Structure 1
Amino acid sequence: MKFIKKIDIFVFKAYSLLFVGTFFICLFIFMMQFMWRYVDELIGKGLTLDVLSHFFYYAGLTLIPMSLPLAILLASLITFGNLGERFELLSMKAAGIPLIRILQPIIIFNILLCIGSFYFQNVTGPEAQKKFYTLIYSMKQKSPELEIPEGIFYSEIPGYNIFVEKKGKENGMLYGVMIYSTTDGYEDAQIVLADSAELKTTADEKHLMLTMYAGERFRNMQAQGNMMARANVPYMRETFIQETDLIPFDNNFNMMDANVFSGSAQTKNLREIETGLDSLAHKSDSIGRSLFAYLQNTTYRRKVNIASQDSAKIARQTLNFDTLYSQLTVSQQQSILRNAMQKSTVATNEYEFRGLISKDIDQSTRTHWVEWHKKFTLSLACLFFFFIGAPLGAIIRKGGLGVPVVISVTIFIFYYIINVSGEKMAKSGEWVPWFGEWLSSMVLCPIGIFLTYKANKDSAVFNIEAYINVIRKILGLRISRHIARKEVIIHDPDYPVVKTELMALSQEWQAYAQKSRLRLPPNYLHIFFHNIDDHEVISLSRKMENLITILSNSRDAAILDALNKLPIVSTHAHTRPFHNYKWNMVLGIIFPVGIFFYFRIWRYRLRLYKDIQQIKKYSAFIAERIEKISEIE
């Protein structure tokens, strides 16, 4: 216990309570979404509470592996968002505790959750899937609850269409009954009209007892003989006062055998999946060998029973099949064509049949591999989502159910789209199964590492300006100056001194441009293999910025406008691609890439030359303006 600190207990307690709550919330949401998929099998079947409870129980078990990652993501976001919002996380860091150490107890807990999720998917999940599919199929086979509406035809009883004009609310009698019966086939259909009727279920709930009062029955007659005989006996008419029909209608719920779904990949553990893959591979090889033998003996048959002397004669002759065919009679030609068509049709059907078998085996093999990888990826998703949610919560510092829920749902939808797309591609054969299933993990893992690194270094991940600056550096863009006139100026610029320094600086820039020959192509070796800064440009740029700072206190609008037009000089872009010497060497050795950076640096040198000319121009303008101000004063 000495390794467990109070801070570990505090963080774990805050996380675990939220995790339990978010887990059941996520499970409930998935259950509701899941229920809408099978609402047709639930409504109108008269299912007992026992059957419904089994349905929700097994559905909940199958949804646990999918609910865990979302619950972990949401709980970690809320937990560390709350800690950041209440400055508790800041206090821990101020005490010298790094973020990784704060996360340590929850990391251990989530690793155990990953192991538990994998064990659940490998042991409990397959059995739950088998029971759930068995239950769903049994529910689909169950007859619907008998509830005949008024004014429309009711066709849920097999072989019967019943129309009821009115129903008695007190006694349950049916009035104005019309029945179309096709139990003996459409050619022997019956129509029954009754003033009233009563429909009851037998004691064993396997039949319906339909008692009709004061009605007529019309039945088509199947006359033997020609069409004239049929026309003379169109139907039979029967009048009755009371008549009872016994209709087969099994209203019981019969659970089918669960072993029917034992061959599905979703109902197998890892060992059973591997065994199934071996069986499928053996079956595929057997079909391949069988097809090869079939093709050898039929389409691509090479052995022909011809005597040696006949084969020698054939070898010495040149056969022209068109000539042989034209010498045959028309009937012989038609016979040959019919035989050829029959053989080609038989061969085509045989190939299609064998192709369908091979396609089914390939589909089943891919499905088995997808389920094999899915048990690992869905378990690791718990850990990946934690390393996304916890650092993200520490960065945004927003707790509660507002921002964390929005972010969690957005991230999970993004993950779900990638996961489902990859799984579909893998099952269809467009991608290999391992890539389709691991694609979502390949996306989540770098994001988790990046966010954890940024949160541990207290970096501003959502600072848009920082990303804009990086893009500007890559594209070689610069920001412009925005020097506005100050409302309060404490010290006015010393114009004579500033003018002298500004003109001297302009001459230094011109001397540097002539000495460096900026317009000429740079030396390739100096760019990539000499890690030397251009200290002269750095010094000149620093002097210019100091003068601009002094002149920004000017009250003259023309001077301020000229200052805004002075460029912000890049002091390193014209020397080498990177500050790291090794990276520059690698770029220089990789010639095609080095050529790109070579021309990029030449571009920066030309831009520096233009900047120097612009500095000369506006320095002269500012000097003239200072002279005018001095004359006025």
Structure 2
Amino acid sequence: MILRVKKLDKFIAKQFGLLFVGTFFICQFVLMMQFLWRYVDQLIGKGLTMDVLAQFFWYMSLMLVPQALPLAILLSSLIAFGNLGESSELTAIKAAGISLMQAFRSLVVIVIFIALGSFYFQDVVAPSANMSFSRLLLSMKQKSPELEIPEGIFYDGIPQCNLYVQKKDIKTGMLYGVMIYKMTDSYDDAAIILADSGMLQSTAEKKHLVLTLHSGEWFENMKSQEFSAGVSVPYRRETFVKKRIVLDFDADFNVADASALSNNARGKSIGQINRDVDSLNHVYDSVGRVFYKDAKMSYYSPVAVSKKDSLRAVKMAGTKTYSFDSVYSRLSADRKLEAVDAALSKVQREMNDLDFKGMITADGDKLIRQHKIEAINKFTLSLSCLIFFFIGAPLGAIIRKGGLGVPVIISVLVFIVYYIFENTGYRMSRGGMWAIWFGKSIATAVLTPLAIFFTYKANNDSVVFNLDLYRNFFMKIFGLRIKRAVFKKEVIITDPDYAADSATLTEVNREIGDYAREHNLWLAPNIIKVFFKYRPDHTIEEINEKIETVIEDLSNTKDKVILSCLNAYPFMAVKAHTRPFDRKWMNVVAAIIVPVGLFLYLRMWRFRLRLMRDLKVIRQTNDAVIARIEELNSSGTSKA
């Protein structure tokens, strides 16, 4: 069967493709700028050539491609279907009997290929780029060490030197409060140099560093040097006003050896990660077995116990009454003290040994977790391309706003949610607080139901982002009301029937009076009648229906006084003052659950008091409208 590609599929694919290319480069640029700020200090003032900088940006761009793809798909799908909805093309598509899922099908195929390409990119291209970037970054750090010297801590970036600077002037390059530990062949030949100030500069050929010091002292250990006649000098001390020290340092740019980056999990493919995880597990399992064997051999050795007592302990070991306390009680006071000291010493030694072994195994566990995280990340990042499409495309169809306004805002919000869950899961998995599969799948687990919900709503033309709907819902929950807005119509087709409306309002006034006298709305409602013996009460519903009918008819008037009176009519809650729920069993359950029943009872009493005020306002407004109608009728009669 030959796959048929319809014109609609081509049209939608073309719209999406052009936007995807543009948004991809935008997202790539934004991510690169954010990434660049982390390394800007290592680029400025290093004297790097243009080819090195070009390599830096090239490797950076390759590393960020898998992260830019999901964001570009989200933004481009939002804009594409937003444009279709805004130009009514999406409405025409649905009117032709084509569902939204049918309109998606060409893009689903394209996004699947993009996701597969993202996985291939992460497994083949990105690891090589990440390794090259790491090597390049390591070499850039070694380019000009005089700019890397921090304040307040020792800097070991210069070979055979540890340099401490109390304060640094960035503008002049002066170093203040300088302390240098200079080592040559061994620690016996170490020299300590103290100076008030100094300056570190590279030579022209970039092969040496010249350290110019002012007002200091030089202390050097001379233990390894022998003088004539067998006389040895333990150390020498020199005080200087100004001194220059030449340090060997090849600062010419060269790419660092990648052997130091062998544990970089991001620089490996799936196959390499699996092999390295197996190797790491084998190594650390071997280390664990060695630790266990050592502990097994060293934990049970008799200390400070005589041969006689040892034999007695061995004999008692086969009985149920064996106790170390009985053996300990037979010792003399000196032997007891000796045994306790030996035990404390042994426990402390074992604790230190376990701390050291725990540090070794903890590093191994962290390295293994890092490799497993990167392996799962290749799948989740590819899957996010598909998830972001099923978020962006339905949202675009629902919102129907194109351009870079609303789609950008929504894309940023969705990506922030994704980034928060993704980054949290990564950190918790890396630290061992969460399982790796849980931490790396939490972002996907959160966004997948969101994608399904938006796709379902868009496919069924459901209202999701109707702000008026949500506002009215919450206003109804909290008992808030909106004001009525009746304006003069420009074109009036049918004039209002003033006589019928006046008669209706007079009848409404009579019904309101009867209802108010019968129900005493200012009193608290009867709990038994409300929750257990409710009788239907539809009087207010009928009164409200009559008032709304009159308002609808009188809205066709040209008289400003009547229009002003119509805006004074309140919107009434016709059921809230009678009972909490329509079903009797729900009212009974609410009464049994005391806190819920109390809340509903007080809420209903509040609505009764509000209804009492509303009915008073309605009667006053009715009288004003009836009086105005009579004035209009009398003026019309006099004119006639």
Q: Normalized against structure 2, the TM-score is what? A: 0.69
Paired with 1:39 and 1:622, the residues of 2 have a C-alpha distance of 72
Paired with 2:630 and 2:254, the residues of 1 have a C-alpha distance of 109
1:37 aligns with 2:38: yes
Paired with 1:182 and 1:40, the residues of 2 have a C-alpha distance of 27
- What is the one-letter code of the residue matched to 1:16? G
Change (3 A) 1:80 1:334: same
1:107 aligns with 2:108: yes
Q: How does 1:185-196 map to 2 (within 5 A)?
A: 187=191
Paired with 1:95 and 1:541, the residues of 2 have a C-alpha distance of 42
- What is the one-letter code of the residue matched to 2:249? F
In the other structure, the counterpart of 2:526 is 519
1:429 aligns with 2:432: yes
Tell me the CA shift for residue 57 of structure 1: 3.0
Tell me the CA shift for residue 23 of structure 1: 1.6
Of the candidates 411, 414, 428, which is equivalent to residue 408 of structure 1? 411
Of the candidates 567, 570, 577, which is equivalent to residue 572 of structure 2? 567
Of the candidates 360, 363, 374, which is equivalent to residue 363 of structure 2? 360
Tell me the CA shift for residue 508 of structure 1: 6.8
What SS does the aligned partner of 1:37 have?
coil
In the other structure, the counterpart of 1:166 is none
Change (3 A) 1:70 1:612: closer
1:467 aligns with 2:470: yes
What SS does the aligned partner of 2:370 have?
helix
Q: How does 1:48-447 map to 2 (within 5 A)?
A: 49-142=50-143, 187=191, 201=205, 207=207, 222=222, 248-281=248-281, 286=286, 290-299=290-299, 306-308=310-312, 311=315, 328=333, 339-447=342-450
Paired with 1:300 and 1:589, the residues of 2 have a C-alpha distance of 71
- What is the one-letter code of the residue matched to 2:481? I
- Write out per-residue CA displacement over residues 123-175 of structure 1, whole angstroms, 9 at most, x where no aligned residue: 333333233323333443456699xxxxxxxx9976799xxxxxxxxxxxxxx
Contact persistence 1:77–1:393 (CA under 8 A): yes
In the other structure, the counterpart of 2:451 is 448
What runs of 5+ residues in structure 1 fail to find an aligned partner? 147-154, 162-179, 192-196, 211-217, 238-242, 579-583
Contact persistence 2:551–2:566 (CA under 8 A): no
Q: How does 1:476-515 map to 2 (within 5 A)?
A: 477-479=479-481, 482=484, 491-492=497-498, 494=500, 495-504=502-511, 507=514
Tell me the CA shift for residue 356 of structure 1: 1.3
Paired with 1:619 and 1:356, the residues of 2 have a C-alpha distance of 80
In the other structure, the counterpart of 2:173 is none
- What is the one-letter code of the residue matched to 1:71? A
What SS does the aligned partner of 1:564 have?
coil
Tell me the CA shift for residue 86 of structure 1: 3.8
Contact persistence 1:377–1:438 (CA under 8 A): yes
Paired with 1:502 and 1:318, the residues of 2 have a C-alpha distance of 98
Change (3 A) 1:282 1:102: same
Paired with 1:286 and 1:512, the residues of 2 have a C-alpha distance of 86
Q: How does 1:573-588 map to 2 (within 5 A)?
A: 574=579, 576=581
Contact persistence 1:118–1:376 (CA under 8 A): yes
Paired with 1:262 and 1:427, the residues of 2 have a C-alpha distance of 18
Tell me the CA shift for residue 430 of structure 1: 2.7
Range with bigger deviation, 36-45 or 343-352: 36-45
Change (3 A) 1:630 1:536: closer
Tell me the CA shift for residue 575 of structure 1: 6.9
- What is the one-letter code of the residue matched to 2:103? I
What SS does the aligned partner of 2:569 have?
helix
In the other structure, the counterpart of 2:12 is 11
Contact persistence 1:221–1:234 (CA under 8 A): no
Paired with 2:279 and 2:157, the residues of 1 have a C-alpha distance of 42
- Write out per-residue CA displacement over residues 247-283 of structure 1, whole angstroms, 9 at most, x where no aligned residue: 6332454444545434433233334434444455555
Contact persistence 2:394–2:455 (CA under 8 A): yes
Tell me the CA shift for residue 360 of structure 1: 2.0
Tell me the CA shift for residue 107 of structure 1: 1.8
- What is the one-letter code of the residue matched to 2:36? M
Paired with 2:292 and 2:31, the residues of 1 have a C-alpha distance of 49
Tell me the CA shift for residue 492 of structure 1: 3.5
In the other structure, the counterpart of 1:164 is none
What SS does the aligned partner of 2:37 have?
helix
- Write out per-residue CA displacement over residues 454-509 of structure 1, whole angstroms, 9 at most, x where no aligned residue: 44444454332211222234x35242553779799955455355323542466479
What SS does the aligned partner of 1:570 have?
coil
- What is the one-letter code of the residue matched to 1:391? P
In the other structure, the counterpart of 2:545 is 542
Tell me the CA shift for residue 350 of structure 1: 0.7
- Write out per-residue CA displacement over residues 578-603 of structure 1, whole angstroms, 9 at most, x where no aligned residue: 9xxxxx99x89999998887777666
Contact persistence 2:131–2:261 (CA under 8 A): yes
In the other structure, the counterpart of 2:213 is none
What runs of 5+ residues in structure 2 fail to find an aligned partner? 148-155, 164-179, 196-200, 211-217, 635-640
Change (3 A) 1:62 1:573: farther
Paired with 2:528 and 2:383, the residues of 1 have a C-alpha distance of 53
Paired with 2:613 and 2:625, the residues of 1 have a C-alpha distance of 18
- What is the one-letter code of the residue matched to 1:269? S
- What is the one-letter code of the residue matched to 1:503? R
- Write out per-residue CA displacement over residues 197-242 of structure 1, whole angstroms, 9 at most, x where no aligned residue: 99664xxx8x5599xxxxxxx99795989xx9979986599xxxxx
In the other structure, the counterpart of 1:172 is none
Tell me the CA shift for residue 302 of structure 1: 9.7
Change (3 A) 1:16 1:519: same
What SS does the aligned partner of 1:375 have?
helix
- What is the one-letter code of the residue matched to 1:382? C
Paired with 1:8 and 1:403, the residues of 2 have a C-alpha distance of 25
1:22 aligns with 2:26: no
Paired with 1:183 and 1:290, the residues of 2 have a C-alpha distance of 36
- What is the one-letter code of the residue matched to 1:482? R
Paired with 1:272 and 1:522, the residues of 2 have a C-alpha distance of 75
Contact persistence 2:577–2:611 (CA under 8 A): no
Contact persistence 1:513–1:609 (CA under 8 A): no
Paired with 2:204 and 2:630, the residues of 1 have a C-alpha distance of 117
Paired with 2:604 and 2:132, the residues of 1 have a C-alpha distance of 73
Tell me the CA shift for residue 398 of structure 1: 3.9
Paired with 2:567 and 2:47, the residues of 1 have a C-alpha distance of 86
Contact persistence 1:134–1:258 (CA under 8 A): yes
- Write out per-residue CA displacement over residues 435-462 of structure 1, whole angstroms, 9 at most, x where no aligned residue: 3222222332233333334444444543
